């Protein structure tokens, strides 16, 4: 058998591994279940790709994103290695043909999303294969205590039951002790070897600034950096607004968010990757699987959701191991908004029971009844009918899904968008013989701002209700206006299949899971609290704070975060003042300000500090002197 290093050189052209890649690969080769925690950009994929090439059989890779799978498969094929990723649009015949290719060809890697493991056909076909090893990428998605929980990851247990002797490698970049335990438990891992490389990135400076004019600071950052930049914001609307503003200032930026079509996302991504537009303004929908080495700065204009999210998103900077920056721009208003959103969108058990009960009422399901049929569900309509808060209700539905009470299509809370394509003057002169068309346009203009400049989210149900008509009539009119190029209508189907997985028992059902739900919700609040502590603690090195959160100890300060730089500046200025007093024993405040090249406020703060420490004194003639 070839050595792992020979394979690395032959296919990847490298002479040596990064630590601890080789040790991880040997553990997998020895048949041990392996958990690898490597920092973002730390070369996780090689840890299963090289064993996959060396072991007999196929390496089954469970990965959360189709785009990530496509990139991995394209990278392997470029090196002459056969790999297959299952697209969501494959027909039954396509699936059968691909599995025949896997059985009788020389394909070494099969990439699947965890949702695919819910298909009896695919499970049956996997059972007919010979697996060399199983790799679970982004393994933190298996844990409800993590930051990207995907209930479908729990289905991986099925594969373990059918292949008890095939070892598994789980890989992730960031995980707390709680998440690590969850990964090992849910993947039924045994004889485990754990490899944990600190997420610490010595080339990455974490810098958090408190300031009111965040936009001006952002422009200063952009003017000093010509390489690729990622700017994270909290809402889809902000991506459009901020990217437009940045472009108006002479920079080249694109927007990226989950409400864009696949084609729009790809266009933005390609422009950013090619550096035709080196700045991308995005929600956290942009990130997983992004591997661009020369990102110099990642800016957060809004607070990230958690420390885990922060480390993942910041870690997309400096993958070429050159100096890079993670910058958070925030103020008290941001912290208040973050706290308010956390509280407002965290439901109580009573609210969970209320929404759960109303779901059954909504579909007229009797007590004790369970139907196997799918129900057509519209979240906006449901919330308006029962006067429920949209975001909180979406949180509750996810909780019900995660606890196996209901099943519902992914992205059930996505909404259609529109943008007016003609000028306001042309729109005034636009005439339609259809009365409802003119009424609808007037209603849209009254209710949605910036619609001439960007896509805005709409609710066809709400528009129909105000016009006393049906959603279908509104949709048909919008489609016609789209065809006439009056507006662009990105229609999202309101059809969402909702399944009830347990009989109706109302409060009794929720009571069975209430302790688990309460623990989960309290944990989410704790994570929010920890993030605020990190942002507000200006005394302790940022890297040391984050290491502590993940259960790691860091003995040395990083020296490059905002706290370390401030402390260094503080020591440096104190030293300069003492030297100045030693040279000239007495000076007025104005004389000191003239002699030192530093901010006036900063100098005065240091002088007050030296007075408090009784290292200098103040005479009646206002002269300061060294004691």
pLDDT digits (tens, 9 = 90+) for 105-139: 789 999 998 888 878 888 899 999 999 999 999 89
What is the percent of the chain with per-residue pLDDT over 90, rounded to a whole number?
40
Confidence label for 69 from pLDDT (cuts 50, 70 and 90)? confident
Residue 259 scores a pLDDT above 80: no
pLDDT at 101: 86
Residue owning tokens 């950009």: 41
Residue 599 scores a pLDDT above 60: yes
Residue owning tokens 């891992």: 189
**Residue from 356, 343, 363 nearest 388 by CA:** 356
pLDDT at 288: 67
CB-hemisphere CA count at 13 Å for 620? 0
Structure token digits, residue 525? 């609040």
The better pLDDT of the pair 270, 462 is held by 270
Residue 575 CB partners (closer than 8 Å, separation 6+): none
Q: What would the pLDDT profile of 338-352 be if each residue is shown by its tens digit?
A: 998 888 889 999 999
CA distances from 116 to 88, 500, 510, 531 (A): 8, 20, 28, 34
Residue 495 scores a pLDDT above 60: no
Structure token digits, residue 309? 């999210």
Residue 410 scores a pLDDT above 60: no
Over residues 163-179, mean pLDDT: 88
Q: What would the pLDDT profile of 51-66 be if each residue is shown by its tens digit?
A: 999 999 999 999 887 7
- 159-168, 196-205, 450-459: which is most confident: 159-168
The better pLDDT of the pair 559, 290 is held by 559
**Cα–Cα dist 12/79, whole Å:** 7
The better pLDDT of the pair 115, 359 is held by 359
Confidence label for 503 from pLDDT (cuts 50, 70 and 90)? very high
**Residue from 45, 70, 40 nearest 59 by CA:** 45
Residue 194 scores a pLDDT above 60: yes
Confidence label for 590 from pLDDT (cuts 50, 70 and 90)? confident
Confidence label for 229 from pLDDT (cuts 50, 70 and 90)? very high
Specify the DSSP element, H or E, that contains 33: strand 33-37
Specify the DSSP element, H or E, that contains 592: helix 589-595
CA distances from 554 to 41, 220, 309, 313 (A): 21, 32, 20, 21
pLDDT at 147: 67
> Using an 8 Å Cβ cutoff, are 328 and 311 in contact?
no
Burial group, residue 368, by CB count within 10 angstroms (0-12, 13-18, 19+): exposed
Q: What is the DSSP letter of 9?
A: I
Structure token digits, residue 442? 């007037």
Q: Would you tell me how many other CB atoms lie within 10 Å of the CB of residue 417?
A: 21
Q: Residue 307's beta-bridge partner residues?
A: none
Helices 390-402 & 379-386 angle (0-180, nearest 10):
120
Q: What would the pLDDT profile of 320-342 be if each residue is shown by its tens digit?
A: 889 999 999 999 999 999 998 88
pLDDT at 119: 80
pLDDT at 35: 95
């Amino acid at each position: 058998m070839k050595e792992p290093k020979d394979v690395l050189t032959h296919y990847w052209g490298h002479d040596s591994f990064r630590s601890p890649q080789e040790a991880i690969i040997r553990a997998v080769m020895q048949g041990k279940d392996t958990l690898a925690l490597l920092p973002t950009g730390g070369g996780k994929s090689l840890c299963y790709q090289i064993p996959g090439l060396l072991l007999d059989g196929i390496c089954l890779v469970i990965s959360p994103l189709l785009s990530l799978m496509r990139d991995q498969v394209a990278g392997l094929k470029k090196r002459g290695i056969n790999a297959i990723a299952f697209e969501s649009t494959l027909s039954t015949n396509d699936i059968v043909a691909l599995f025949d290719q896997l059985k009788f060809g020389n394909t070494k890697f099969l990439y699947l999303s965890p949702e695919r493991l819910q298909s009896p056909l695919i499970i049956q076909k996997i059972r007919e294969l010979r697996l060399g090893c199983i790799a679970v990428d982004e393994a933190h998605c298996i844990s409800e205590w993590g930051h990207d929980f995907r209930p479908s990851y729990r289905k991986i247990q099925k594969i373990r039951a059918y292949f008890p002797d095939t070892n598994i490698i789980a890989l992730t970049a960031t995980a707390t002790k709680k998440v690590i335990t969850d990964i090992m438990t849910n993947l039924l891992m045994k004889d485990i070897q754990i490899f944990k490389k600190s997420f610490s990135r010595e080339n990455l400076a974490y810098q958090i600034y408190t300031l009111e004019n965040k936009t001006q600071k952002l422009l200063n950052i952009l003017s000093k950096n010509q390489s690729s930049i990622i700017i994270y914001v909290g809402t889809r609307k902000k991506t459009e607004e901020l990217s437009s503003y940045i472009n108006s200032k002479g920079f080249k930026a694109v927007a990226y968010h989950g409400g864009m079509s696949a084609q729009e996302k790809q266009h933005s991504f390609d422009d950013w990757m090619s550096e035709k537009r080196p700045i991308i303004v995005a929600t956290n929908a942009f990130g997983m699987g992004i591997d661009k080495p020369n990102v110099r700065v990642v800016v957060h204009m809004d607070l990230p959701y958690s420390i885990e999210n922060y480390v993942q998103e910041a870690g997309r900077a400096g993958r070429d191991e050159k100096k890079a920056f993670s910058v958070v721009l925030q103020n008290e208003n941001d912290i208040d908004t973050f706290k308010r959103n956390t509280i407002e969108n965290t439901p109580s058990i009573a609210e969970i029971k209320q929404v759960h009960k109303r779901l059954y009422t909504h579909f007229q399901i009797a007590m004790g009844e369970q139907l196997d049929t799918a129900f057509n569900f519209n979240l906006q309509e449901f919330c308006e009918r029962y006067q429920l808060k949209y975001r909180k209700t979406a949180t509750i539905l996810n909780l019900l899904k995660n606890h196996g009470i209901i099943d519902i299509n992914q992205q059930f809370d996505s909404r259609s968008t529109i943008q007016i394509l003609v000028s306001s003057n042309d729109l005034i002169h636009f005439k339609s013989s259809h009365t409802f068309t003119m009424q609808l346009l007037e209603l849209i203009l009254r209710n949605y701002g910036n619609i001439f400049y960007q896509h805005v989210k709409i609710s066809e149900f709400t528009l129909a209700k105000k016009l006393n008509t049906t959603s279908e009539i509104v949709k048909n009119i919008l489609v016609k206006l789209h065809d006439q190029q009056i507006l662009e209508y990105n229609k999202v189907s309101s059809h969402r299949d909702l399944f009830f997985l347990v009989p109706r028992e109302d409060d009794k059902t929720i009571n069975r899971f209430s302790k688990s739900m309460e623990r989960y919700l309290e944990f989410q609040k704790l994570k929010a609290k920890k993030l605020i502590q990190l942002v507000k603690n200006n005394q302790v090195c940022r890297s040391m704070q984050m290491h502590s959160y993940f259960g790691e100890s860091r003995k040395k300060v990083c020296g490059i975060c905002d706290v370390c730089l401030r402390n260094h500046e503080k020591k440096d200025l104190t030293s300069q003042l003492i030297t100045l007093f030693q040279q000239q024993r007495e000076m007025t405040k104005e004389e000191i300000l003239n002699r030192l090249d530093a901010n006036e406020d900063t100098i005065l703060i240091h002088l007050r500090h030296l007075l408090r420490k009784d290292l200098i004194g103040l005479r009646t003639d206002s002269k300061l002197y060294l004691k």
